[in-house]
Amino acid sequence: MAQWTAEQCTKAQLAGLEVLVGLTNKALEGFEKVMELNLQTMKTSLAQTREGVMKALSVQNPQELVELQIELFQPATDKALAYRRQLFDILAATRADFDKVVEVQYTAGKQGLQDFLEKVENSAPSGSTAPLAAWQEALKATTMFYESVQSTARQTVEVAENSLNTAAAAASKGARHRVAQASASAAAK
């Protein structure tokens, strides 16, 4: 029967360590991008809040205050939607990097297992083909299951992304409609 040598074990451990380090780096890169986005968003929000407060302090009558609120509301909604899109893009890119690594590792592991089963089959005594055939069938079933799960996960992500985009578009449209109504109402007074 085929056995692993110490060198093969060491190679496998080093390969696993390289994958772990690579995934950790990708996770940290994604985290860094999210932190940069959050810091930039906070700086922008702080500056806009200061500007809004300064404008509000200079308002002379309630009509001007209503107009100022209308003026500040729509950009805030658009900025929130832009933030959500940027955050989703960062998370999707990080997930895609992880998916690539998992796919490569899965393919390599599957090939290694198939090679191992072939070696065992070639060196196995006669009459042991039934258990080996069962192993091969189990490997095929596992492969089909994994591919099905991957396909379902991709479809789920696509549906979630489409739903979020649809909800964001509806929220933006609703906000614009409310701003337009408030503007018309304010102008009528």
Q: Could you report the per-residue pLDDT of 31-48, keeping only the tens digit for each?
A: 999 999 999 999 999 999
DSSP-based three-state secondary structure for 162: helix
Q: Could you report the per-residue pLDDT of 92-132, keeping only the tens digit for each?
A: 899 889 888 888 888 888 787 778 777 777 777 777 777 77
Please state the domain count of the chain: 1
- The length of the chain in residues reads 189
d(CA 85, CA 171): 14
Supply the range of the domain harboring residue 111.
6-188
Can you give the C-alpha Rg of the chain in angstroms? Answer: 29
In a domain, 1, yes or no: no
In a domain, 46, yes or no: yes
In a domain, 121, yes or no: yes
H or E element in which residue 138 lies: helix 129-188
